[in-house]
A and B are shown apart, each in its own frame.
Chain A
Amino acid sequence: MKQPLLALVNLNKYYGDVHVLKDISFTINEGEFLTLLGPSGCGKTTLLRCIAGLERIESGDILLEGASIKELAPNKRNVNTVFQNYALFPHLNVYDNIAYGPRMKKSLSEAELKKRVVQVLELVQMSGYEQRMPHQLSGGQRQRIAIARALINEPAILLLDEPLGALDLKLRKYMQTELARLQRKTGTTFVYVTHDQEEALNMSDRIVVIDQGQVQQLGSPREIYNSPANLFVTSFIGDRNIVPVRVLEVGEERARVKLGEDSVLVRSSRTNGKALQAGEEAVLAILMDKMRVSCEEAENALRGTVASIHYAGSQIRIEVRVADRILTVVEYQKMDCDCAVGDAVSVTWEDSGAILLPKEDGWEERGF
């Protein structure tokens, strides 16, 4: 098997008494776009800074191309960072900002350097901006210069710390495609930190979901979206209805569960080690946009009454009361039935949109 580009081995990090990274272990392959996704304060930025060498780790190891880099100072590591606030040097123009790395390392002659600066500026579509000062650039332009300044060093890994956080929505969408293009074009391995699930799902080859300093799940965007490994991932990614149910019988891949009066057959989570038992309480999570409301009785459906209907542009949100729970259904086209508030309806869903997970201690208090 091919050796991974970067391997994190049982990495631990403390800030005083606070254990911010707990036994982090995973590998990053050459040329992939890997995203560290998690809520603010989960430790994802700290993890990125550990890889860059800006934070020391208390235990564990970081292997770059098989060799430990944990004792190396940041300037000795073959990785570069694009900082959240870009951190362009305000007293240097665009050319000198980009030339900074090679000049400090004395890795290129001034003539070669000039050629390379022109190349990377072209790459980020900022040709001709050499003489501008950072304060004369817009947020999106600064972003591109920060990327160019890192890429000119030809790092083994480019680390990006929420680089789109400061941009407005439209520019953010545009820069997502732009970053993906840059990554494919240069073949550089990207490790990207974000708290925005849409960004992560859009751009990544693989996503590492992090919460409370621990890896919750690692997988392709598709795996993570369709088969969340635990309740945290279930609630953090995708808009889902999350309701407690009682397990009636357990099959190979599916289980029959009861909510209110009705029982339904649903896919059960395989990624989680703990097997479900008949008779116990479990949690059912269904993606809102994979659900349908129909006026007639249906197979494998939950019956309820319409509590409210909201029209929000292209989508319609219907809240249905099932037993003592409210389920939200998001429909994009015309609704199947022309129901009104108070009508009795059946709620169905695409099989892949629902998943059954074991109950976790205190899950309701955590606001799922």
Chain B
Amino acid sequence: MSTWKRNLLAAPVLLWIGLLVGVPMVLVVALSFLSRDNLGNIVYQFTLDNYRRVLDPIYLRVFWNSLLLALLTGVITLLIGYPVAYISANLPPRRRALALGLIMLPFWISSLLRTYGWMILLGNTGLINNLLLALGIVDRPLPMMYKFGTSLVGTAYMLLPFMVVAVFNSVDKLDRSLLEASYDLGASRRQTFFHITIPLTLPGIVGGFTLVFIPALGLYFVSDLLGGGNTVFLGNLIHTMATRGRNRPLAAAFSLGMVALALLVLSLYWKVSKDKSGEALFQ
């Protein structure tokens, strides 16, 4: 088949990606170089002012908060998600389907509702505090809401299924005879896990981390509701600028700053994990 014919076959996909991904991206990039008037209307006049403000040191703190939140979310979901995925993937077929179903179940409920659920749990008059008070473990309610940690718990909870599904798939593909070969050659279960299982499921770990890290960087309603705005994250900042701040060009510039941060961190991460896992895995 000639090259142009093959490209023709890909046309519907390219069109789809172009319309739904390419065009919006171009619009955001274009918007980020425009100005606005006092009422928030777009003024079609080229400026670099928006980017100057993105690079302003007072916003560095916000970038840092978001980066920390996203990295910690990645680590927490990995630590919780890996064992869950590993155990589920090794269950007999029927119970496996049930386990996967249970992991996906929260997706059936609005994420906003689930976030309110956390408020009911963690609030000063919430379930946990009431229980602790009733049992006499504490005298006054533990302040658990509106902290960085609260946002972290909420975000990690929200994104955990992505990690589980990504790791599940790679554990599922793992050739069991390799584990047997490892035991047979004299390795203990622990040695087998660290020398065989982890390196061979690294694609799942990398995939899961990527799937969790990117949304964690931009997710704003969880930190809005659970963090109460005490820690400002990029997502909250962009949301505020685009709505109440009436500055969509600046919001667009910050969005692209966030994309740049994500690409930077992920490219570092991919490079390190690829180096460690050998070329055969990524072919």
Q: Which A residues fall within an 8 A CB radius of B?
A: 52-54, 73-75, 80-81, 83, 85, 87, 89-92, 100-101, 104-105, 133-135, 149-150, 153
- Which of B177, B182, B186, B200 is the one whose CB lies under 8 Å from A91? B200
Residues facing A in B233-283 (CB within 8 A) are 277-281, 283
Question: Which of B180, B187, B199, B283 contacts A83, CB < 8 Å?
Answer: B180
B200 adjacent to A90 (CB under 8 Å): yes
Given known contacts A75-B187, A91-B199, A100 and B182 CB-to-CB distance under 8 angstroms: yes
Contacts of A83 in B (CB 8 A): 177, 180-181
Q: Are A105 and B186 closer than 8 Å at their CB atoms?
A: yes
User: Given A100-B187, A104-B191, A135–B181 Cβ distance below 8 Å?
Assistant: no
Using Cβ atoms and an 8 Å threshold, which residues of chain A touch B178?
A: 87, 89-90
Say yes or no for B183: interface residue by CB 8 A criterion.
yes
Residues of B within 8 A of A101 (CB): 185-187
In the complex, what residues of B have CB within 8 A of residue A54's CB? 180, 183-184
In the bound complex, what is the Cα–Cα distance between A80 and B180 (angstroms)?
11
B185 in contact with A92 (CB, 8 Å): no
Instruction: Give the 3 A-B CB pairs with smallest separation, nearest first.
Output: A87-B181, A101-B185, A104-B187
> Given A104-B187, A104-B195, A105-B186, A91–B181 Cβ distance below 8 Å?
no
A-B contact list, 9 entries, CB within 8 Å: A52-B184, A75-B183, A80-B184, A83-B181, A90-B178, A100-B195, A133-B280, A134-B280, A153-B186
B66 to chain A, nearest CB (A): 33
A52 neighbours in B (Cβ, 8 Å): 184
Asked if A153 contacts B185 (CB within 8 A), the reply is yes
Q: Does B2 interact with chain A (Cβ within 8 Å)?
A: no
Residue with the highest number of chain B CB atoms closer than 10 Å, among A83, A91, A153: A91
Which B residues touch A92, using CB under 8 A?
278
A-chain residues with CB within 8 Å of residue B182 when the two chains form the complex: 89, 100, 104
- Give Cα A81 to B180, complex, Å: 9
Query: Once bound together, how far apart are the Cα atoms of A14 and B184, in whole Å?
Result: 22
Q: Which residues of A contact B195 (CB under 8 A)?
A: 100, 104
Chain B residue, CB-CB nearest to A73: B183
Distance between Cα atoms of A29 and B81 in the complex (Å): 50
Give the Cβ gap from B182 to chain A, nearest Cβ, in Å: 7
Prevailing SS type, chain B contact patch: helix
Would you call B280 and A90 a contact (CB within 8 A)? yes
The answer to whether B277 and A100 have CB atoms under 8 Å apart is: no
B184 touches A81 (CB 8 A): yes
Interface size on B, residues (CB 8 A): 23
Chain A hits for B200, CB < 8 A = 89-91
Note all chain B residues with C-beta closer than 8 A to A91: 199-200, 277-278, 280-281
Q: Given A133-B279, A135-B283, are A85 and B177 also a contact pair (CB < 8 Å)? A: yes
Q: Tell me the minimal C-beta distance from A77 to chain B in angstroms.
A: 8
Given A83-B177, A87-B175, A100:B280 Cβ within 8 A: no
Known: A54-B184, A81-B180, A83-B180. 11 other contacts (CB 8 A): A53-B183, A53-B184, A54-B180, A75-B185, A87-B177, A89-B178, A89-B182, A90-B178, A104-B191, A133-B278, A149-B185
Do residues A74 and B278 form an inter-chain contact, with CB atoms below 8 A?
Answer: no
Complex CA distance for A133 and B279, rounded to whole angstroms: 9
What residues of B have a CB within 8 angstroms of the CB of A80 in the complex? 184-185
Q: Is B102 an interface residue (CB 8 A)?
A: no
- How far apart are B250's CB and chain A's nearest CB, in angstroms? 46
User: Which residues in B have their C-beta under 8 angstroms from that of A104?
Assistant: 182, 185-188, 191, 195
Output the nearest chain A residue to B278 by Cβ-Cβ distance.
A91
Does B132 make an interface contact (CB < 8 A)? no
**A162 CB → nearest B CB, Å:** 13
From B186, B187, B281, give the contact of A90 (CB < 8 A).
B281
- Nearest-CB distance from B195 to chain A (Å)? 7
Q: Which chain A residue shows the least CB distance to B185?
A: A101
Q: Smallest distance from the beta carbon of B200 to chain A beta carbons, Å?
A: 6
B104 adjacent to chain A (CB < 8 Å): no
Are B181 and A89 within 8 A (Cβ)? yes
Shortest CB distance A82–B (Å): 9
Nearest A residue to B181 by beta-carbon distance? A87
Q: How far is the CB of A62 from chain B (nearest CB, A)?
A: 15
Please tell me if the beta carbons of A81 and B278 are within 8 angstroms of each other in the complex. Answer: no
- Bound Cα distance A104, B184 (Å): 11
